Structure 1
């Protein structure tokens, strides 16, 4: 009797949450993972979450690293960034300073990875608080995203607005990039093989 073929492991996509402290990175992560809204949350050192999901009819795994926004952990950020395949850069639409800090996060990621085409989404959180509390206008944030050649999406961890969308969109970008990289490596291998045959 033939042994059953070993089951293929589901592809793993590594997502890193970045942004200033208190903008709702953990709240977004926990809402996505468990469907819970956590109002009070201890400042994160760094928490990792993993779950199996279905992305466009294919089973895969998402690994989310929720990093600390606090400056005292800046020294270990570089290691986190190196392990990431895609980034959700979160700010609060009610806190202009957190929006300004997104430029620093973007610059750090580009420097560490030496890659400004890494899958990246700019996320304006706390959209449920409405116009009265808004300090960052949609147009300004969207203009920054266009400058970075990425997507801008507004979310609410409280109402779950666009929470699934940001993770799904980022995972699609990560998956598509892996496919492109794999096919260009394959093309390069074939090219080398043809070269050898000609010689």
Structure 2
């Protein structure tokens, strides 16, 4: 069974955990409980083949920012979450996107080099 690693990134309090839990379990969490790091697994179908999503729900606080690069390096897919009513959370999403882009480009460049 294929496994895909997905990393959920964003500022604290924007709803990363709520979106992740809603997707994995179908239930919505209304109470805010700051996350340090949570892993979820969900079986899905990709191209008619059973697969597993390993979803890493990351901390949104600045004190765990040093771990962000490690999360990005290990991820295969990324979900950037921000709040429509919080401009700073959008700026964090742009920052995270800018951090992801060079790492992803490096991975694809090295893979293309082996073709």
Q: Do the aligned partners of residues 102 and 116 (structure 1) sit closer, same or farther apart at CA in structure 2, a change above 3 Å counting?
A: farther
Higher Cα radius of gyration: 1
Q: Do the aligned partners of residues 51 and 114 (structure 1) sit closer, same or farther apart at CA in structure 2, a change above 3 Å counting?
A: closer
Q: Which segments of structure 1 move beyond 6 Å, counting only runs of 4 or more?
A: none
Higher helix share: 1
Give aligned pairs, total: 113
Compute the TM-score of the two structures, normalised by the length of structure 1: 0.52
Compute the TM-score of the two structures, normalised by the length of structure 2: 0.86
In the alignment, structure 2 segments of 5+ residues that lack a partner are none
Aligned-residue CA RMSD (Å): 2.2
Higher strand share: 2
C-alpha displacement of 1:91: 0.6
- Superposed CA offset, 1:116-163 (max 9, x none): 898xxxxxxxxxxxxxxxxxxxxxxxxxxxxxxxxxxxxxxxxxxxxx
2:6 corresponds, among 2, 15, 27, to 15
Q: Distance in 1 between matches of 2:30 and 2:38?
A: 17
C-alpha displacement of 1:56: 3.7
In the alignment, structure 1 segments of 5+ residues that lack a partner are 1-9, 119-180, 189-199
Residue 105 of structure 2: SS of its match in structure 1?
Answer: coil
C-alpha displacement of 1:114: 5.5
